[in-house]
Structure 1
C-alpha cells in the first residue's frame, strides 16, 4: 500500500500506520515533486489532528518497556567537516531551521547519518534526520499546514547540495517516544548525532515485541522488486510520474528513483541486525552484518553497493539519466539479483 493511501482510513489505535501518514504529509516527494491540492492538504491535516488526539488518549496497557537514553551534541559550524565541498550550502539550510524557529514545532531535531559522523560524500549523501514533533503541533491542523510550507522551503535548500534527496525529515511523535516500536529507527543508530536546538538527553521507551518490523520492511520492498520483474517497471519511490524500466534502459530518466533503491540496498545490514535484536549505528552495521551473514554472494553484492557509494560521481554523468557505465557496473540482471539477495537475507532471520 502506498503511504498516501493510508489517508483513506483512520488509524487511531495503530501508531505505526499513523507515523507513516504523518511522514508522508511532510515528505519531500509529496511537497517538492508534486503539485499540492490545498483542499486535500487541509483534509489530511484535519485527519492527522483528530486521529492523534484519539491515539494519545488511549489507555497505556503495555508493561514491558525498555528505557534507552541517547545523549545529543549541540550543533556548531565546526561539526560539519571542511572537507565537504557543499559545507556552505549545508550550513545555510541549518541556519534556515534556526532562523525560522523550528523549535516551535519540534521538541527535538537531530542531524544523524553521514553528516553527523563526517562520512558525507558530495553528490551522494543526503540530509538524514531524526525529529520529534510536539503534541501541540499535531493537534492543531493549522500548525501542521504552516509547518508543511516551511519544510517545503527547507527541502529546496537541501536539494541544492543533495540533488537525490528522496525523503523528508524523519518524524516521530512524543507518543512514539513513550511507545517506541521495533521497526522505528533504532536509538542505537543515533549514537552519533548533532542537535540543532540544544545539548540534551532523549528517553526512548522501547516496546518488547515478537513482531519484526524491520524484516517486514525487507519483505514489503522485495515484493515491489519481484513485481518489477514481471511488470517491466519499478513502482517504488517514483518521481515526476516516471517509473524506472526493468531491465535497465540506457538514458532512462529515472536516475533519482534508482538512487533511492540503491540507498535501500545499503540499508539491508541495519535492517537485518535490527530484525535479530542486534541494532547498530549504520556506519558500523556493515562489518557486523558480514560477520553474521557468512554468505559470499550477499557480502559481495552489498560491498559492490558500498563501492558505488564511494564512486557515485565518477560513474554517473547526469542527475537524471541512467547511463551505460552505471548499467555495466550494476549488471543487466540487477533487480533480479536484488530479489534473490533479499530472499537469502530473510532466510537468515529466525
Structure 2
C-alpha cells in the first residue's frame, strides 16, 4: 500500500487538574514506562470540559515488542482501577496502536482531528512530536455501518437499555453518529464537537431529534449510585464486570424513561435509515 499523506502534530503535556491523569502518569513511570512510546488523553478530559457524564478516552502507543505482552495486560487492569474511580460506568477500554502504526496511521480509528486536541500523559515532558503517515485510501464507512447494523438488530429484538450503564453506552453511540457520518460522506475526519453543526442540515427535525435528546440527557446526567453499587462498579476484573454492568448499575429514572419513548425510537430508526442511504 502506497502511503500518500503525512501530518506533523505536536501533543502538549496535560495541563488540567484531574487527579486521574497524575495517577496514571505515576503508574506508568513507576512500573510500565518501558512498554510505551507515549500515552495521551483525548476527549473532554483533554479539553478540560469534564461533566458528570464524562468518561475517559486515552490512547496507548505501545512499543511493538510489547503489543501482546503480559505487562501490557497488567497495566490495563491496574489503570482501569483508576479509571473506574473517575467513571464507574466506563464502557470502553483504552484506544491502542503500535509504535510502528505511526508510519501507517489508522486515521479511521482515531482521526487526526481528534488527536490534535489530545494531551500528553507520558512521557513526562512538555510535548511530543509525531510525524504521522497514512494511506490515501481510508475506509470511513465500515465502522459506521457496523454500528447502524447493531442498532437495527436491537430494534428487531425490541431491545431497550435496562440500566444506566447500558443507557450511557447507547447515548454515546448516538452522539458519535454525526462525527462518523461526516467522515463517511466527506472522506475525512472531524473533531466530534464540531460534527454536530457540520451535518445537522442533512437531516429533518425528526431524524435529528435522537441527537437532541441524547445531548440533553448527557447535559443533565446525574450519577446516582448507592454505596454498594459504587463498590461493585469499581471492580476492574473483565469477567466480573460483565455481570456487574448488567446487574449492578442504577436503574434508569422515570424522567429519562419518559424521554426514551416510542417516538424517540421511531425517530432513531429514521435517522439510521437516512444515514445508511446517504453512505451507500
TM-score range relative to shorter protein: 0.7 to 0.9
For 1:266-321, what per-residue CA distance to the aligned partner results, in whole angstroms no more than 9, with x for missing partners?
A: 11121112212242112222222224x253233333122222111111xx645421
Residue in 2 that maps onto 1:231: 157
Unaligned runs of 5+ in 2: 226-248
Q: Is 2:187 the counterpart of 1:277?
A: yes
Kindly tell me: are residues 129 and 268 of structure 1, through their superposed partners in 2, closer, same or farther at Cα, counting changes over 3 Å? same
Residue in 2 that maps onto 1:71: 10
* Distance in 1 between residues matched to 2:269 and 2:259, nearest whole Å: 18
Greater displacement, 158-167 / 269-278: 269-278
Q: Is 2:158 the counterpart of 1:219?
A: no
Residue in 1 that maps onto 2:134: 206
Unaligned runs of 5+ in 1: 1-61, 82-86, 234-245
Aligned equivalent of 1:131, options 53, 60, 70: 60
For 1:117-166, what per-residue CA distance to the aligned partner results, in whole angstroms no more than 9, with x for missing partners?
A: 111112x111111221111212xx5xx11221122011011111111111
* Distance in 1 between residues matched to 2:27 and 2:3, nearest whole Å: 40
Does the 8 A contact of 1:187 with 1:204 survive in 2? no
Does the 8 A contact of 1:110 with 1:195 survive in 2? yes
Q: SS of the residue aligned with 1:226?
A: helix
Q: Is 2:110 the counterpart of 1:185?
A: yes
Higher relative contact order (CA closer than 8 Å, sequence separation 6+): 2
Aligned equivalent of 1:288, options 189, 194, 198: 198
Q: SS of the residue aligned with 1:312?
A: coil
Kindly tell me: are residues 300 and 332 of structure 1, through their superposed partners in 2, closer, same or farther at Cα, counting changes over 3 Å? closer
* Distance in 1 between residues matched to 2:20 and 2:128, nearest whole Å: 26
* Distance in 2 between residues matched to 1:335 and 1:103, nearest whole Å: 46
* Distance in 2 between residues matched to 1:149 and 1:186, nearest whole Å: 27
Does the 8 A contact of 1:90 with 1:161 survive in 2? no
* Distance in 2 between residues matched to 1:118 and 1:310, nearest whole Å: 15
Does the 8 A contact of 2:210 with 2:264 survive in 1? no
Q: SS of the residue aligned with 1:200?
A: strand
* Distance in 1 between residues matched to 2:99 and 2:109, nearest whole Å: 13
The TM-score, its normalising length taken from structure 1, stands at 0.66
Does the 8 A contact of 1:67 with 1:203 survive in 2? yes
Kindly tell me: are residues 339 and 215 of structure 1, through their superposed partners in 2, closer, same or farther at Cα, counting changes over 3 Å? farther
Shift of 1:265: 0.8
Q: SS of the residue aligned with 2:86?
A: coil
* Distance in 2 between residues matched to 1:264 and 1:329, nearest whole Å: 17
Aligned length: 253
Q: Is 2:48 the counterpart of 1:118?
A: yes
Residue in 2 that maps onto 1:164: 89
* Distance in 2 between residues matched to 1:90 and 1:173, nearest whole Å: 21
Shift of 1:72: 0.6
Q: SS of the residue aligned with 1:115?
A: coil
Shift of 1:182: 4.7
Q: SS of the residue aligned with 2:85?
A: coil
Q: Is 2:168 the counterpart of 1:259?
A: yes
CA RMSD between the two structures: 2.2
The TM-score, its normalising length taken from structure 2, stands at 0.81
Shift of 1:327: 1.1
* Distance in 2 between residues matched to 1:312 and 1:201, nearest whole Å: 36
